[in-house]
Amino acid sequence: MPIDPQVQVVLEKMKQLGVPPLHALAVEDARKINLRAMAAQPEEVWRIDNRIIPGPIDSIPVRIYTPRSEAPLPVIVYYHGGGWMVGNLDAADVLCRRLANGVNSIVVSVDYRLAPEHKFPAATEDSYAALAWVTEHAAALGADADRIAVGGDSSGGNLAAVVSLMARDKGFPSVKFQLLFNPVTHYSFDTDSYIENAEGYGLTTNTMRWFWNHYLAKEQDGQNPYASPLLAPDLSGLPQALVITAEFDPLRDDGEAYAEKLKAAGVPVEAKRYAGMVHGFMLQTGAYDQGRKAEEQAINALRKVLHD
């Protein structure tokens, strides 16, 4: 498929403006980029609470979205993207509001520690700690500890996949569903999608190398399944998944290979590639019609699992 016309307009404007790739910036400048610039207008949610919860090393900021509904509600623990280096609670705010209202679920968005100040496994440890905290405090949140999903985009999709593995390996907590948007699943840059979409489509292969180089303390950490979940020897017993990928995304094959490996392990998986789309399109719902369709697909899948 050709690039979607709505995406083409954005890419041409970025080119005209001379927008540099993230890896050309200093870390502090990369963190100033507004990652929700093309998101739709934020919806009103009945209650939004910013909280600090205990983490393994330091406290973890979270943002809790609660729709107006009778408790107990299901709960979605969400991890923002940004290459484990940039991004924050605001990056996923518009999507988290939509998930709370659309799924009729509490959403807990997690502000895990970022690299390079905090390298692997800091983000995974914070992400798992937040999931455990939500489970242990479900009643106080008005949530049902038996109806927990995890989700994330890009590096946040990596963390959602990893905490699903960690929860299975530790035997706690029970996760019913994993929502993986454009997930990073493997420390490797030799897939067709990394080669075909190396530059010109927003996220570049060199930017992904930059992210990984800052995230990993040492290169062999990239072989750890809690960094590269595609390398986990056994994916059986994991929660069912929705994996959404984009045609013109260096990470396309990461997500699709992970979906296939989940299926081979007997995990129920729905995998959808959106033609003509680029990385992060499901967050850019103010610009892309297909971003809104992906958002609706995610909402419908979550409702089906969490409200059955």
Active site residues: 154, 249, 279
The sign of the dihedral angle between the CA atoms of 193, 248, 292, 45 is positive
Helices (H), the chain: 5-17, 27-30, 93-103, 122-136, 138-141, 155-170, 192-196, 205-215, 252-264, 289-306
Convert 18-51 to b/e letters by CB count within 10 Å (16 or more is b). Answer: eeebbbebeeeebbeeebbebbbeeeebeebeee
Residue 274's CB is within 10 A of a number of other CB atoms, namely 24
DSSP code of 137? T
Residues 6 or more apart in contact with residue 238 via CB below 8 angstroms:
164, 165, 168, 178, 262, 265, 267
Question: How far is the C-alpha of 277 from the C-alpha of 159, rounded, in Å?
Answer: 23
CA-based nearest residue to 104, from 155, 139, 69: 69
272 neighbors 255 (Cβ within 8 angstroms):
no
d(CA 126, CA 51): 15
| Distance separating alpha carbons of residues 106 and 144, to the nearest angstrom | 10
Kind and range of the H or E element at 144? strand 143-153
Q: In residues, how long is the chain?
A: 308
